Every structure is written in C-alpha cells, then in structure tokens.
C-alpha cells in the first residue's frame, strides 16, 4: 500500500509540474543558520524587483518563518526564468536558547526565539517535501561543509529529484574555502559569491536562469 501511495504521489508531482510550466518556479533557499540565505534572497529581490524579502541579522535564526517574494524575473544571456523566492529558516538538528544569550538577549526572549526557530525548521522541511520546484543551497564558505545537516538536506533534495545549485557564500572573507565545498558535494555545481558585497552575481543569475528556466 505504501509503495502505491508513494508512486501516486510521485506521479502527481510530475504532472503538477508539467501543467505548471507557465507558472513561476518556487525556488527554496536552504542551508544552515547564518549562511547568508536572507542576504542572498534580498540581493536577488532588490536586483530584479527593487524590494527586499526580509530582515538580516548576525544573530542566528533571524528568519524563523518562510518568506516568499513572488514573480522575480531573471534574464541572462538570452535565457529567462520567473521564480518565486522562498527564503526558509536555517535548518539545524538542535536549537538551544543558550546560544542567544551570547548575543545579550534576555532569557525569556531567547527561549521564545529558540521555540520559534524550532518551529521554523519544521516549516522549512515541509516546504522542501511539498512546495518547491528547485533549491538554492547556501553554505558559508568559511565553515566546514561536512555536517549532518548538510548531508541530510542534500540527500532529501536528491531523493525529491529537485534541481539544486550550491552557492558558496562569503567569499569576501579571508578564510573562505570554496574548494572545500565543491569537494564535499562534487555531484552538484558550486558557485562562489558574496551576497553581502554582490561579488560574482552575474554568474549566479546565469546559473539560476540555466538551471531553473
């Protein structure tokens, strides 16, 4: 029974995509906390619509609910794609309120933020399994990409047969190591960038139009 259900769900997803060719592609921006997902979402949205998606912060889990910017039309080298950007909360295996205390946050506020962040992780996973047509996976190129969360999420994305681009963010920092990310996930293309500084955004837009168009 489970096999039949899974087969039916897979067929439904494929037919839904076939009949939705003219609709904007829902592209989820995923990755661990503080990788620069919202900074990237805002960069893309501002470049092509003039508007931002949401607030940015150095404090982890600033984004605790998925935010969506619709009808973002990107054109590069004769290719174009219209996407809905879905900026998702950072995914992690554990959210501890104590990490927020290091940012001069009161305990009650820290507990509230950790609870909201945990709910946000569940929401992000729901979007990934049900509601996105492709994924931009953002990693901080100054940190080790070999983590349980990254391996798990890339595995889920692959099992859903979703197109994915891996963006190695924060290349403006001295300890950035893009090769470490490309070596971690050689089956996917890795694009270096700085969402904060706007470095290499031309290639970013070329790849988005190519992969999701």
| pLDDT tens, position by position, 58-95 | 655 566 567 889 999 999 988 899 999 998 887 776 76
Query: Quick one: pLDDT at residue 168?
Result: 98
What is d(CA 173, CA 199) in angstroms, rounded to the nearest whole number?
12
Dig out the tokens for 95 from the structure.
């959210």
| pLDDT tens, position by position, 135-188 | 999 999 999 999 999 999 999 999 999 999 999 999 999 999 999 999 999 999
Average pLDDT over residues 88-104: 71
What is d(CA 94, CA 149) in angstroms, rounded to the nearest whole number?
10
Looking at residue 131, the DSSP 8-state letter turns out to be: T
Query: Distance of alpha carbon 144 from its chain centroid, rounded?
Result: 17
Residue among 160, 156, 153 nearest 133 (CA): 160
Q: Which of 27-64 are b and which e, b meaning 16 or more Cβ less than 10 Å from the residue's Cβ?
A: bbbbbbbbbbbbbbbbbbbeebeeeebbebeeebbbbb
Residue 17 has pLDDT above 70, yes or no: no
* Residue showing tokens 């090769």: 179
pTM over 0.75: yes
Dig out the tokens for 74 from the structure.
């990107």
What is d(CA 213, CA 211) in angstroms, rounded to the nearest whole number?
6
Q: H-type helices in 19-163, by residue range? A: 37-49, 98-101, 107-130, 148-159
């Amino acid at each position: 029974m489970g096999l039949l259900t899974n087969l039916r769900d897979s067929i439904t997803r494929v037919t839904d995509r076939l009949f939705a060719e003219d609709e904007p592609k829902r592209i989820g921006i995923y990755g661990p906390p503080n990788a620069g997902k919202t900074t990237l979402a805002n960069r893309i949205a501002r470049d092509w619509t003039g508007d931002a998606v949401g607030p940015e912060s150095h404090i982890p889990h600033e984004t605790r609910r998925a935010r969506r910017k619709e009808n973002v039309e990107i054109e590069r080298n004769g290719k174009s794609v219209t996407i809905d950007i879905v900026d998702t909360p950072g995914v992690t295996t554990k959210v501890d309120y104590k990490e927020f205390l290091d940012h001069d946050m009161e305990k009650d506020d820290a507990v509230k933020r950790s609870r909201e962040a945990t709910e946000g992780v569940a929401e992000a996973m729901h979007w990934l399994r049900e509601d996105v047509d492709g994924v931009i996976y953002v990693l901080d190129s100054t940190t080790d990409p070999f983590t349980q969360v990254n391996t798990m999420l890339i595995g889920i994305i692959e099992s859903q047969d979703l197109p994915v681009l891996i963006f190695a963010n924060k290349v403006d920092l001295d300890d950035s190591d893009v090769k470490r990310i490309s070596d971690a996930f050689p089956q996917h293309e890795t694009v270096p960038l700085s969402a904060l500084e706007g470095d290499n955004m031309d290639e970013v837009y070329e790849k988005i139009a190519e992969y999701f168009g």
